[in-house]
Amino acid sequence: MTEAFPFLESLNSIPGVRAGWVGRVPDLPITGDRDEAMNLLRPLHAAAVANFAGAAAEWWRAEQIHGVSLAIVPGSPQIIAPDGLPVVPGVDGLVTCKPGVVLAIYAADCGAIWLADRKTGAIGLLHSGKKGTEGNIFEAALGVMAAQFGTRPEDITAVLSPCIRKPDYDVDFAADIGHQAARAGVGSYLDCGLNTASDLEHFYSYRRELGKTGRMMALITRDFLP
């Protein structure tokens, strides 16, 4: 489920960085709310993480409250989510510079934003939909990475995942994220251009499926380099 996707090539070409994407799981009926969906997807997503980074991978997730707060991991406090796995509460973004740590963000119309610093090795993963984009979680993440790891925007490679777009949504937050990246001076930015609401074969869409849907999962890790 974490096969190579062309829109992740700019990240996966960076030595030591691996980025992944888990799309819609075929033949898995989901008819309930978010908690039911996450419980159904939990074993499949856990298997995907193990395939992506090994069975013993240190896997970190954000609670995702449609805000702009971030956490530096490992070391941040966690709570248990309804699916029984830990999450960092109150945040929509995760950053780290520690090799072997897997960052995970879920999406079902909102965008996931992968970040990789080509110089310092720091990485990040953000959840940015309408509210997160209005609050500019992108800029907040760059600020945290600069303060904690010495990251410069020009050294960042960033990619925006599949997300909902016009005409299926009235707010073009994907375009806004692109403008934020340009204003910040990000060295390399790619919007994959894919619309979750127009391709239910490959993506979950909260809006198109009226909330009774699953979640895609974005992943990023930094390997130990020799």
Outline where DSSP puts E strands in the chain.
17-22, 58-61, 70-72, 79-80, 86-87, 93-96, 101-107, 111-117, 123-128, 156-160, 188-191, 216-222
The encoded tokens of residue 166 equal: 């016009």
Q: Is residue 120 part of a domain?
A: yes
Q: Is residue 116 part of a domain?
A: yes
Angle at which helix 137-149 crosses helix 173-184, to 10 degrees, equals: 30
What is the per-residue pLDDT across 100-154, written as a single tens digit (0 to 9) for each?
999 999 999 999 999 999 999 999 999 999 999 999 999 999 999 999 999 999 9
Q: Is residue 44 part of a domain?
A: yes
With pLDDT > 70 as the criterion, what percentage of the chain qualifies? 97
What is the per-residue pLDDT across 208-218, written as a single tens digit (0 to 9) for each?
999 999 999 99
Q: Is residue 1 part of a domain?
A: no
- pLDDT band of residue 225 (cuts 50, 70, 90) is low
Q: Is residue 111 part of a domain?
A: yes
Q: Is residue 224 part of a domain?
A: no
Indicate the number of domains in the chain: 1
Which amino acid type is present at position 52?
A: F
Q: Is residue 225 part of a domain?
A: no
Q: With 90 as the cut, is the pLDDT of residue 224 above it?
A: no
Q: Domain holding 11: CATH number?
A: 3.60.140.10
Q: Which domain holds residue 185?
A: 6-20+29-219
Asked if residue 142 lies in contact with residue 156, where contact means CB atoms within 8 angstroms, the answer is yes
Chain Cα centroid distance, residue 195: 16
Q: Is residue 38 part of a domain?
A: yes
What is the per-residue pLDDT across 28-38, written as a single tens digit (0 to 9) for each?
999 889 999 99
- What is the reported pTM? 0.96
